[in-house]
Structure 1
Amino acid sequence: MIEVEHLTKRYGPTTAVRDLSFTVRPGRVTGFLGPNGAGKTTTLRMLLGLVEPTAGTATVSGHSFRHRPRGLRHAGALLDAHDVHDGRSARAHLHALARSNRITKQRVDEVLDEVGLTDAAARRRVGTFSLGMKQRLGIAGALLGDPPVLMFDEPLNGLDPEGALWVRGLFRRLAHEGRTVFVSSHLMSEMESTADELIVIGRGELIAAESLAEFAARGTAPTVTVRSPDAAALAVVLAAEGAAVTPYERNGLKVDGLSAVRVGELAHEHRFPLWELSTRAASLETAFMELTADSVEYAAGESR
C-alpha cells in the first residue's frame, strides 16, 4: 500500500506539491494523472526517498522508503528509462542492482526473460538500445526484487503497439497477484484500458481519488447522435421536448438533454425514419480536460 498524507514540497517560492493526501491500495492498477507541472514526478520521487518533503509523509507499506534496507525487495520503480550507464550491458546493470539488494543472478535472468530482452540484447551496451528497449530494461529493474509495490512513470514511452499491449497485461497480472501498482501517465487511452482507480492532481493539489468509471462520469453528459432524412423536422420535435439540438454533418443531429431511448421513442411516435441512433459515452479524456482546465501549468520546471 502507498499512503500520502498532507504532503508538501517547496522549491524556494515555488510549491510543487501542496497538502496532498491519497491512498493507493493493493490488488488494482491505480493511474496517476495530471497536466504538465502538476507535481506527479515530484510526488513519486518523495515516495522513493529521492526528494525530502517540506511537510507531510509519503510511505510505502507503512514505512518511509529511504529507511528500507535492500529497498528493491519492498518497492520497484521506473522513473526515467535513460537513467542507466550507457557503457554497461543490460545484464551488468541488473547484476549491479541485484548485488546491492542481495538478489540472486538467477532472478536477473528471470526478469530479462519476462520483459522480452533476449540473451543477445542483454549483452549489448545500453547506449545502443532504443527507447523501447530501455523501457523494458527499466521495467526489469522494477521487477527485480519481486516487490509488493510497483511504481511506473510514463512506462509506455517508446513502446510499439505490441509492447504497449504487453505492458497493460503485465500491470493487470501484477495487480491480480495482490500487488500495489501505481502508474503515472499522460495517455488517457492507456488509463482507460488499464486502470481501475485514478488519482488526479493539478498544481500539486488533489482533484480526484476515485474509480475510473466515477471519474469519467464527471465529464460532459453523454451526447446522442441521430440521423434522419427528416432531420430538420425531427429537430423541432426534440427541441420541444427540452433537448439542445445541433445540426451535425449531413442529415445528422447532436442531441443533449435526452437519452437515446427517448429520442428513439419520439422518432417512432412522429414516424420519422432513422438512419442512425448512437450515444457517445462519457470520456475519460473529456472529464480530465474539464476538471484540470484551471490547473494547467506552462511554467518551466516540473514537467509531469
Structure 2
Amino acid sequence: MIEVNSATKRYGSKTAVDNLSFTVRPGHVTGFLGPNGAGKTTTLRMILGLDAPTAGTVTVSGVPFRTHRRGLRHVGALLDAHHVHGGRSGTAHLSALARSNGIPLRRVDEVLREVGLTDVARRRVGGYSLGMKQRLGIATALLGDPPVLLFDEPINGMDPEGVLWVRHLFRRLAAQGRTVFLSSHLMTEMENTADELVVIGQGRLLAAEPLARFAARSTRPSVVLRSPQADELAALLVAAGARVEPEGVGGLAVTGLPANQIGILAFDNKIVLQELTTRSASLEEAFMKLTADSVEYLAGQQR
C-alpha cells in the first residue's frame, strides 16, 4: 500500500506538491492523472525516496521507502526507460541490480522471458528501441517480485502488441494482490487498464475514486444522431428540454433526452433518422473539465 499524507514539496519559492493526501491500495490498478506541471513526477519521486517531502509523510507498506533494505524487493518502478547504461547488455544491467538487492540471479532470466527480451538479452541496451527499453524497465520493476509497483508512461514506444501485453500484465499483477500505480497521459490506456484514479492539479488532489464514478460524475452521457432533417429535429429537441450541439454534417449531439425518447420524437414528426447512438461518459471529457483551472500551459500562452 502507498499512503501520501498531507505531503508538501517546495523547491525554493515554488510549491510542486501542496498538502496532498491519497492512498493506493493493493488489488487494483490505480491510474495517476494530471496536466503537465501538476506534480505527478515529484509525487512519484517522493514515494520512491528520491525526494523528501518538505512537510507531511509518504510511506510504502507503512514506512518511508528509504527505510526498506534491498528496495527492489519492496517496490519496483519504471520512471524513465532511458536511465540505463547503454554499454551494458540487458542481462548485465539486471544482474547488477539482482546482486545489489540480494535477488537470486535466476530471476534475471525469468523476467527477461516475462517481458519478451530473451533473444536480445545479451545485446547492448544502447541499441535497443524505445519499446525494448520500456520492456527492460518493466523487467527491472519485476525483478525483486515486489508487492508494490510504480510505472510512469510505460507504453511509450510500444507497438500495439506491446500495449496489449502491458494491459494484461498490469491487470494480472493487481489480481495477484499487488499495488499497481500507473501514471500516463493516455486516457484510452487508463480507460482500458485502471480500476481507480488519483487526479491532481497544481500539486493538489482533485479526485480519488473509481474510474467509472469519475467519468460518470464529471460528464453526462449524450446521444449522437444523424438526419437529413437535422435542423427541424434540433428545434423539436430544444423545445423538449434537450441541449443540442452540431456534430458534423447532418449530425447532432444531444444531452438531456435518452435515445428512446429522441427516436419517438422523430417518429411522431415523420423525421428520418440515419443514426441514433448513445455515447457513454468519456474519461477524457471528465479529465479536461475537472482540470481546466489547473492547466499550467495552454497553446500560445502561459497562465
Under a length normalisation based on structure 1, what TM-score does the superposition of the two structures give? 0.94
Quote the offset at 1:166 in angstroms: 0.6
Provide the rounded CA distance (Å) in 2 between the counterparts of 1:251 and 1:74. 57
Partner residue of 1:28?
A: 28
Cα distance in 2 for partners of 1:234, 1:296 equals 37
Write the distance in 2 (CA, Å) between the matches of 1:167 and 1:32: 16
Tell me how far 1:118 sits from its aligned partner. Answer: 1.8
Q: Aligned partners of 1:263, 1:172: CA distance in 2, in Å? A: 39
* Structure 1 equivalent of residue 301 of structure 2: none
Q: In 2 relative to 1, CA 52–248 (structure 1 residues): closer, same or farther, beyond 3 Å?
A: closer
Alpha-carbon distance change, 250 to 69 in structure 1, aligned in 2, over 3 angstroms: closer
User: Using the alignment, how far apart are the partners of 1:105 and 1:192 within structure 2?
Assistant: 36
Contact 2:65 2:71 in 1 (8 A): yes
The gaps in structure 1 that reach 5 residues or longer are: 300-304
> Could you tell me which residue of structure 2 aligns to residue 156 of structure 1?
155
Q: Partner of 1:5 in structure 2?
A: 5
Question: How many residues were matched structurally?
Answer: 298
Q: Which runs of 5+ in 2 are unaligned?
A: 299-303
Deviates more, 1:146-155 or 1:259-268: 259-268
Q: Give the corresponding residue for 1:263.
A: 262
When the two chains are superposed, the root-mean-square deviation of aligned CA atoms in Å is: 1.4
The CA distance in 2 between the partners of 1:278 and 1:215, in whole Å, is 22
Query: What are the equivalent positions in structure 2 for 1:206-285 lying under 5 Å apart?
Result: 206-285=205-284
Indicate how the Cα distance of structure 1 residues 205 and 272 shifts in structure 2: closer, same or farther if over 3 A, else same: same
- Letter of the 2:137 partner, please give it: G
Provide the residue aligned with 1:302 in structure 2. none
Deviation per CA, 1:60-106: give whole Å up to 9, x if none: 11111101101111111011111111111111110110001111111
Residue of structure 2 equivalent to 1:141: 140
Greater RCO (Cα-Cα under 8 Å, separation 6 or more): 1
Q: Report the CA distance shift for 1:114/1:247 in structure 2 as closer, same or farther (over 3 A).
A: closer
What residue is the counterpart of 2:14 in the other structure?
14
Taking the aligned partners of 2:229 and 2:29, their CA distance within structure 1 comes to: 47
Structure 2 counterpart of 1:44, which letter?
Answer: L
Indicate how the Cα distance of structure 1 residues 293 and 102 shifts in structure 2: closer, same or farther if over 3 A, else same: same
CA distance in 2, matches of 1:255, 1:9: 44
Structure-1 residue corresponding to 2:92: 92
Contact 2:84 2:125 (C-alpha < 8 Å) held by counterparts: yes
CA drift of 1:160 comes to 1.0
Q: Residue 34 of structure 1 aligns to which amino acid in structure 2?
A: G
**Cα shift at 1:247:** 4.2
Answering whether residue 55 of structure 2 is matched by residue 55 of structure 1, we say yes
Aligned residue number for residue 124 of structure 2:
125
TM-score when normalising by structure 2: 0.95
Indicate the SS of the match to 1:20.
Answer: strand
Larger deviation, residues 249-258 vs 274-283 = 249-258
- Structure-2 change in CA distance of 1:6 and 1:247 (3 Å): closer
The 1:242/1:134 distance shift into structure 2, 3 A limit, reads same
Q: Per the alignment, do residues 247 and 8 of structure 1 end up closer, same or farther by CA in structure 2, a change over 3 Å counting?
A: closer
Relative distance call for 1:38 and 1:247 in structure 2 (3 A) is closer
In the TM superposition, structure 1's runs of 4+ consecutive aligned residues that sit over 4 Å from their partners are none
**1:32 offset after TM fit, Å?**
0.3
> Which one is further off, 67-76 or 236-245?
236-245
CA distance in structure 1 between the partners assigned to 2:249 and 2:15 by the alignment: 51
How far apart, CA to CA, are the structure 2 residues paired with 1:13 and 1:247? 46
